[in-house]
Amino acid sequence: MRRTLFVLLLLAPGLGLVLAFVSLVLYVAVSQSFGLYNLGGDSVFSLAHWQAMLGERRYWRALQYSAYIAVTASLLAVALAYPVALLLRKPFRGSLTLSALIKAPLLVPGLVAAFLFVNVISYHGIVNQLMLSLGLWDAPVRLQNDKNGYGVILLQVWKQLPFAFLLLSAAVQALPDAVLLAARDLGAGPLDRFRKVVLPLTAGAMQAALVLIFIGAAGDFSFQAVAGPPSVDSLATLMTSVQSTQGDWNGAAVVAVTLMALSLFGSAALAILVRGATRLARG
Amino acid sequence: METKGTFVAYLAATDIGMRFDTFEALKGVSFTAERGEFITLLGPSGCGKTTLLNIVAGFLKPTRGALTLDGADLLPIPPERRDSAMCFQSYALFPHLSVRDNIAFGPRQKGLTATEVAKRVNDLLAQMALDAHAGKLPNALSGGQQQRVALARALAVGPGLVLFDEPLSNLDAKLRDQVRTEIRALQRRVGFTALYVTHDQAEALALSDRILLLNNGVIEQEGAPRDIYFKPRTRFVADFIGAANLHAGIAEAGALATPFGPLTGAGVATGAVTICWRPEMARLGPAGVNSLAGIVSSSAFQGAYTDVFVDAAGQTVRLQLPGAAHFAPGEALSFHVPPSAITTVADTAS
Ligand SMILES: Nc1ncnc2c1ncn2[C@@H]1O[C@H](COP(=O)(O)OP(=O)(O)O)[C@@H](O)[C@H]1O
Ligand SMILES: [Mg+2]
């Protein structure tokens, strides 16, 4: 009893702050989406804001789009981080430099990277100039703000790769050499070693990476604002536009609650699905 | 193993060298093993045993030398396609797989059908008395059980050659003796060739058909356990295997001039030599030849014998005397060593 109390006391400052803030945000957002806690008028419980938003096409498109970016970016980042983490499992000449390079995006603010990227791929940017001078393209190609959001995905993957890499390297480095050698000794080639030994033994870290990246990418504002397709919003850009252009705090709260729900359930669903897929791959 | 009339050993290593950067871990090791033979690589920690075993397994490529199995060049073949299986010092079981799936890993990898795999796994589970644990994960097993799973997993691929890297070093003494006996019995029954690495001389003496004694990346002596024990060729071999009394002496016409006075030995060397005799060959009391006397400096009762350290002629000698007699420090003791028990050894290899 005294022990439990002591542990709670130790946890209170850190966990307390986090919990207080999360519950405050949740409380305000959920209340506002139901017309309560209203900044611009009477506070009355109402389903009207949800009904209005759920009736809008751009809301559903934004939800779909954010989910698509989050799933694609997290899967790609993890898929790219795995081989690098495995390659860097054992030190070699230049491995430190390589591992520092992978982590470099952590130092560059996302917005800066997005502007740089848009510059590079713009109509008169380096990429177009290069392709033209090499004679590969006859005329400049419009690459910026592509309608599939490839630019945003590329930026997301670039920005999120370090997280996937850090999580996966820790897991991969914890694999005992002898266990991998044993698999090899018993007839497993590189692919079989990966799917039968590495993947199941690092699945926890992979899930953590997927969840983190999914949540980061689902809530993206800056990449979408700078490099995203003009015809569609992400949930975050939709939220600001609903609030700032229409002054609709309650509508924005509906989007905010949707974004939190997507982060929570979407990332969980992805993590569970991918775990299931690795089980199948194990054979 | 008659191939076109010429004799080819089952496993043959010729002049294997291994260099890590500037460090030469193996300096030209050659040996052979016949089918069904139990060969032990014995040597102190760091002498290159694991390196040599990893080269045979295919985990390492030697910087020089040749390696053949059944007459075929082994070096270009990756470990996953070699007819050998390794029992690792750490067991290296797959922690996410049950005992059954651990054992089934190799057979499945070799593409056996589900029924073949099940039959092989069930046979091994029964042989190794692991039936009751088939569904458990490795971390739910005791060290001895994990050891048996590792062995079963290696045997499941039906390898011609089984490689052991200090497989008993993580077991307690009593279990070690038991598993040692089991491994040897299993090897005789199944008939695989064993290349067994250990730093434990008792293990090597008990298990092996032949011992390769490795020191500093070279084989210092190779032979049957009794030969290695009773006819050590170098000071290192004598000292590493069992206990030995080693003293400088001069050999001339069959007689040995030693710090203890003239002794008669079995050696034929002449000139400056190192004389060597085993502590258990000493006998209490004086005799016609090789009688020595000294003062007991310490003694330790070991059950089967008593270890007695005696100061004689300014040297410390060690005797292992059977029986229940006490030897108190300060006590005068006379003993003798039969001439047949005294040999001479070289100070260094080659
Ligand atoms: N990968 C490696 N890189 C550098 N040195 C190594 C490597 N592997 C082994 N060695 C060195 O080679 C020597 C022999 O090692 P090892 O074969 O493991 O010895 P043993 O198994 O007999 O204890 C040791 O001195 C060890 O430090
Ligand atoms: Mg070793």
Mutant choice from B54, B74, B88 vs A, greatest count of A C-beta within 10 A: B88
The pLDDT assigned to B3 comes to 46
**Distance between CA B154 and CA B148 in Å, rounded?**
10
Mean pLDDT, residues B30-59 taken together: 96
Question: Distance between CA A118 and CA A114 in Å, rounded?
Answer: 6
Nearest-by-CA chain A residue for B60 = A181
Q: Which residues of B touch A176 (CB under 8 A)?
A: 90, 92
Cα separation, B336 vs B285, in Å, equals 6
- Is the Cβ pair A186, B109 closer than 8 Å? yes
User: Cβ distance B156 to B102 under 8 Å?
Assistant: no
Cβ–ligand 1 distance for B48 under 6 Å, the answer yes
More confident residue, B39 or B345: B39
End-to-end CA distance of chain B: 31
Instruction: Check pLDDT > 70 for residue B268.
Output: no
CA B88 – ligand 1 centroid, Å: 16
- Domain B235-345 falls in which CATH fold? OB fold (Dihydrolipoamide Acetyltransferase, E2P) (2.40.50)
ipTM of this predicted complex?
A: 0.86
Q: Where are the domains of chain B?
A: 2-230, 235-345
Query: What are the respective helix, strand and coil percentages of chain A, to the nearest 5?
Result: 75, 0, 25
Contact of A174 with chain B, judged by CB distance below 8 Å, is answered with no
Cβ <8 Å between A187 and B86: no
Of B59, B80, B90, the CB nearest to A188: B80
B59 in contact with ligand 1, CB cutoff 6 A: no
> Is B53 in contact with B195 (CB distance < 8 Å)?
yes
- Whether the CB of A178 is below 8 Å from some CB of chain B: the reply is yes
| Nearest CB neighbour to B57, from listed A185, A192, A283 | A185
A-interface mutation test, from B86, B101, B112, B169, most A Cβ less than 10 A away: B86
Give the pLDDT confidence score for residue A182 in this predicted structure. 97
The answer, yes or no, to whether any atom of ligand 1 lies below 6 A from the CB of B20, is yes
Residue B47 C-alpha to ligand 1 middle, in angstroms?
Answer: 7
* Structure tokens that stand for B48 in this block: 């290159």
Q: What is the pLDDT of residues B164-210, one digit of tens each?
A: 999 999 888 888 988 899 999 999 999 999 999 999 999 999 999 99
How far from A224 is each of A115, A142, A214, B104, B136, CA to CA, in Å? 11, 17, 15, 50, 50
Question: What are the structural domain ranges in chain A?
Answer: 57-282
Order of strands, sheet of B245-252, starting from the edge strand that comes earlier in the sequence: B261-264, B255-258, B245-252, B271-277, B343-345
Strand partners for B318: B309
Q: Which among B114, B315, B80 is positioned nearest to A184, based on CA atoms?
A: B80
Q: Is the CB of B25 under 6 A from ligand 1?
A: yes
Q: How far apart are CA A249 and CA A40, in angstroms?
A: 8
Taking only residues 93 to 122 of chain B, the set having a beta carbon closer than 8 angstroms to any beta carbon of chain A reads 93-96, 105-106, 108-110
Of B90, B96, B106, the CB nearest to A201: B96
Summarize chain B as % helix, strand, coil (round to 5): 30, 35, 35
CB contact under 8 A, B92 and A196: no
* B236-254: pLDDT as tens digits: 999 999 899 999 988 887 7
Side chain identity at B103, as an amino acid letter? Answer: I
Whole-number pLDDT of residue A142: 85
Alpha carbons B311 and B295: distance in angstroms, whole number: 5
Closest-lying ligand 1 atom to the alpha carbon of residue B214: 22
CA of B45 to the centre of ligand 1 (A): 9
Please state the rounded mean pLDDT for residues B10-36: 96
- Which ligand has the minimum distance to the alpha carbon of residue B215? 1
B2 pLDDT higher than 50: no
Pick the residue whose CA is nearest to atom 21 on ligand 1. B50
Q: Which residue has the tokens 């695989």?
A: B192
Give the pLDDT band (50/70/90) at residue B1. very low
- Residue A200 with chain B: CB contacts under 8 Å: 96
Q: How far is the CA of A92 from the centre of ligand 2 (A)?
A: 23
Q: Distance (Å, rounded) from C-alpha B106 to C-alpha B297?
A: 57
Per residue of chain A (283 residues), give pLDDT as tens.
788 888 888 888 888 888 888 899 889 899 999 988 877 677 888 898 999 999 999 999 999 999 999 999 999 999 999 999 999 998 899 989 998 998 899 899 988 998 988 888 888 888 888 998 898 888 888 888 889 999 999 999 999 999 999 999 999 999 999 999 999 999 999 999 999 999 999 999 999 999 999 999 999 999 999 999 999 999 999 999 999 888 888 999 999 999 999 999 999 999 999 999 988 887 7
Q: What is the dihedral of CA B120, B147, B154, A199, to 10 degrees?
A: 100
**Chain A residues in contact with B78 (beta carbon < 8 A):** 184
Ligand nearest to the CA of B49: 1
Which residue in B20, B61, B108 has the most chain A C-beta atoms within 10 A of its own C-beta, making it the best mutation to test that interface?
B108
Tell me which of B41, B50, B163, B212 to substitute to probe ligand 1's pocket, judged by most ligand atoms within 8 Å of the beta carbon: B50
Ligand 1 pocket, B198 CB below 6 A? no
Q: What is the DSSP string of A129-195?
A: HHHHHTTS-SS----TT-TT-HHHHHHHHHHHHHHHHHHHHHHHHTS-HHHHHHHHHTT--HHHHII
Q: Which of B178, B242, B173 is nearest to B204 (CA)?
A: B242
Please, which pLDDT band fits residue B350 given cuts at 50, 70 and 90?
Answer: low
Give distance in angstroms: CA of B50 to centre of ligand 2. 4
Query: Which ligand 1 atom is at minimum distance from the Cα of B165?
Result: 21
In sequence order, the 6+-apart residues with CB closer than 8 A to the CB of B275 are B246, B247, B248, B249, B256, B258, B263, B265, B267, B342, B343, B344, B345
Instruction: Report strand pairing: B271-277 vs B11-20.
Output: unpaired
The CATH superfamily of B2-230 is P-loop containing nucleotide triphosphate hydrolases (3.40.50.300)
Q: Scanning every residue of chain B, which has its alpha carbon at the shortest distance from the alpha carbon of A202?
A: B96
Q: Tell me if B43 sits within 8 A of B52, measured CB to CB.
A: no
The domain at A57-282 falls in which architecture?
Orthogonal Bundle (1.10)
Residue B47 CA: which ligand 1 atom is closest? 22
Tell me how far apart the alpha carbons of residues B350 and B348 are, in angstroms, rounded to a whole number. Answer: 7
Residue B82: closest C-alpha in chain A: A185
